[in-house]
Amino acid sequence: MPHHDLVVLGAGTGNALIDDRFSHLDVAFVAEGPFGGTCLNAGCIPSKMLAVTAEVADAVREAGRHNVRATLDGVSWPAVQERVFGRLDAVARDGEKSRRAADSVTVYRGRARFTGERELLVETEDGTSSVTADRFVVAAGGRPAVPPVVADSGLPYETSDTVMRLDEVPERLVVLGGGYIAAELAHVFHSAGASVTLVEKQDRLLAEQDESIASAFTDIVRRVHDLRLGRELVRMEGRPGELRLTLDDGSVIEADTLLVAVGRTPNSDRLDLDRAGITCDDDGLIEVDAQLRTSADGVWALGDITPGPPLKHVANREGEVVAHNLLHPDAPRSMSYDVVPAAVFASPEIAQVGLTEQDAREQGREYVTGSRRYEDVAYGWALEETRGFCKVLADRASGRLLGAHVLGPQAATLIQPLVLAMTFGLTAREVAERPLWIHPALTEVVENALREVDAAKSK
């Protein structure tokens, strides 16, 4: 039975946390999927490469707004696929190859499950291997959730793990779900030429966003896609390429492809964690303390299999914390989720950090808001942008920022000054007045929203 100093389950962020500092240890990786995990192979990176492609196509279509005469001949989907996945698949292969070449590293390819305390059984194509270690890191991630009505239909469907690798763009794509994955992939495929229908059980898309953002985004997308809001899929019939989807109001949608984007589920149910003494919450997420230790001695966990926000930049920080704690057990670090930004790379782009206005109300906070539209600043004029805005929430008494939300071009970049302000506990006045803000730059929409917050606080 092979024994290692450290075993890492997962080759996404789990792979990234092991660097030269661990060269004195015998380390093993257990990976079922390709190296790089979801982010590299089926998530953050390919979806954003496709989102930028969609933006370019849309820019050509909308060039007339800037008095530019241009026409779009189409999107070469096979060439886009080769550019995106030809690059990313090579990175995944090289990542695994470099690990296998290291003297102190072992790679086990296959599905693993715990058989005891710090003991695994790994099922590979060549058989099974029992593996033990002094310490474990569980970074086994998650997978797309698929509702029974789809899974039990016997008909083909796509998820975010598969849809970006389709050989051709569907003519009629139905997207089940209204969250960020649904919004981003609907944008990608619409821009590539698909007719898109979104089916969402909530009354608005991106319902977890600030109410102003969700309402504005839904109104914008309604002009582009067929929206079926407040509806659920109750029956799936037909045959491959000719699907009939019946909703709970009796309406029927015909499509050649269904994309299921209703959320993700942790892979904890595949690991027999109870045999290792690792406890999970009611959602199947591994319970960890502030130092990311599990209930089992010598076992840490991170990423989408834990209760923290399921975001790659969060997992990266968790990886840094776990790596430090593995190397410096006498001086451990803790993970903080106090200020976690996120972005949706749809059309329009969205970014957020901190509380939504509905959060603030539910918590009974005394707060003020400020907002400014892109069209109120000079660079917004240059963009001919009439939809975008920045909204900021601050504590009424102290002026400290509670949350911020941006909808429009460059949202994921524009939010960052507000992330820094919240991280360092600055007030709206301090952020607006102490630094110089470039004119004319799009950041002025943030500056002016902050000034409006401060003016509201003074009333």
User: Tell me: the pLDDT tens digits for 46-69?
Assistant: 999 999 999 999 999 999 999 999
Q: Indicate whether 335 belongs to any domain.
A: no
**Cβ atoms of residues 42 and 181 within 8 Å:** no
Which residues, other chains included, contact 188 with Cβ-Cβ below 8 Å and sequence gap of 6+? 47, 50, 51, 53, 54, 164
Same domain, 139 and 184: no
Identify whether the C-beta of residue 264 lies closer than 8 Å to the C-beta of residue 143.
Answer: yes
Quote the mean pLDDT of the chain. 97
- Catalytic (active-site) positions: 439
Same domain, yes or no: 8 and 127: yes
Contact 296, 278 (CB under 8 A): yes
Looking at 237, 262, 287, the residue that finishes a domain is: 262
pLDDT tens figures, 56-105: 999 999 999 999 999 999 999 999 999 999 999 999 999 999 999 999 99
In a domain, 61, yes or no: yes
The pLDDT of residue 1: 83
**What angle, 0 to 180 degrees and rounded to 10, lies between the N-to-C axes of helices 44-61 and 180-191?**
50
In a domain, 339, yes or no: no
Q: How confident is the model at residue 250 (pLDDT cuts 50, 70, 90)?
A: very high
Domain match, 425 and 359 both? yes
Cα(275)–Cα(338) distance, rounded to whole angstroms? 33
Distance CA 418, CA 448 (A): 13
- Give the whole-angstrom CA distance, residue 186 versus residue 194: 9
- What is the tens place of the pLDDT at every residue in 169-194? 999 999 999 999 999 999 999 999 99
Q: What is the pLDDT of residue 420?
A: 98
Cα gap 373→362, rounded to integer Å: 26
The span from the CA of 253 to the CA of 135, in Å, is: 51
Q: Which of 45-59, 85-99, 120-134, 321-335 has the lowest mean pLDDT?
A: 120-134
First to last CA, the chain: 71
DSSP strand pairing (350-354 vs 401-407):
antiparallel
Q: Based on the fold, state whether residues 205 and 293 are members of the same structural domain.
A: no
Whether residue 31 lies inside any domain: the answer is yes
What pLDDT, on the 0 to 100 scale, is given for residue 316?
A: 98
Report residue 458's pLDDT band, with 50, 70 and 90 as the boundaries. Answer: confident
353 and 420 share one domain: yes
Q: Give yes or no for residue 153 having a pLDDT over 80.
A: yes
CATH of the domain at 77: 3.50.50.60
User: According to the model, what pLDDT value does residue 352 have?
Assistant: 98
Return the residue matching tokens 């997207």.
175
Domain-ending residue, one of 262, 288, 311: 262
Alpha-carbon gap, residue 291 to 324, rounded angstroms: 10
Number of domains in the chain: 3
Q: Which pLDDT does position 56 carry in this prediction? A: 98
Statement to judge: residues 274 and 139 lie in one domain = yes
Task: Indicate whether 127 and 274 sit together in one domain.
Answer: yes
Q: What percent of the chain has pLDDT over 70?
A: 100
Q: Is 297 helix (H, G, I), strand (E, B) or coil?
A: coil
Average of per-residue pLDDT across 427-442: 97
Element (H, E) at 31: strand 27-31
Q: Report the alpha-carbon distance of residue 444 to residue 151 in Å, rounded.
A: 48
Global pTM value: 0.96
Same domain, 378 and 419: yes
Nearest alpha carbon to residue 131 among 26, 37, 19: 26
Q: Which of 209, 351, 343, 197 is nearest to 261 (CA)?
A: 197
Give the length of the chain. Answer: 459
61 with 80, same domain: the answer is yes
- Boundary residue ending a domain (206, 232, 262): 262
pLDDT at residue number 265: 97
| The two structure tokens encoding residue 43 | 């998530």
Q: Is residue 343 part of a domain?
A: no
- Supply the pLDDT for residue 454: 83
Considering the domain architecture, whether residues 320 and 396 belong to the same structural domain is answered as: no
Peptide bond into 332 cis (omega under 30): no
pLDDT of residue 456: 83
Q: What confidence tier does 125 reach under pLDDT thresholds 50, 70, 90?
A: confident
Question: What is the C-alpha separation between 198 and 344, in angstroms, rounded?
Answer: 16
- Compute the distance between CA of residue 66 and CA of residue 70 in angstroms, rounded to an integer: 10
Q: Is 459's pLDDT higher than 80?
A: no
The tally of CA atoms less than 13 A away on the side-chain side of residue 215 is 7
| Paired strand residues for 372 | 390
Q: What is the pLDDT of residue 436?
A: 97
Domain membership flag for residue 60: yes
Q: Please report whether residue 340 resides in a domain.
A: no
Residues 253 and 184 in one domain: yes
* CA–CA gap between residue 225 and residue 263 (Å, rounded): 20
Please compute Rg for the chain using Cα positions: 24
Percent of the chain at pLDDT > 90 equals: 97
pLDDT of residue 9 exceeding 90, the answer is yes
Q: Is residue 390 part of a domain?
A: yes
Triad 103, 105, 110: Cα angle to 5°: 140
Question: Could you tell me the sign of the dihedral formed by the alpha carbons of 142, 148, 151, 157, in that order?
Answer: negative
- For the beta carbon of residue 369, count every other beta carbon within 10 angstroms: 19
DSSP E strands, 399-440: 401-407
Q: How confident is the model at residue 455 (pLDDT cuts 50, 70, 90)?
A: confident
Residue 198 lies in domain: 148-262
Q: Give pLDDT, residue 374.
A: 98
Residues 113, 7, single domain; the answer is yes
362 confidence band (pLDDT: 50, 70, 90): very high
Task: Say if residue 457's pLDDT is above 90.
Answer: no
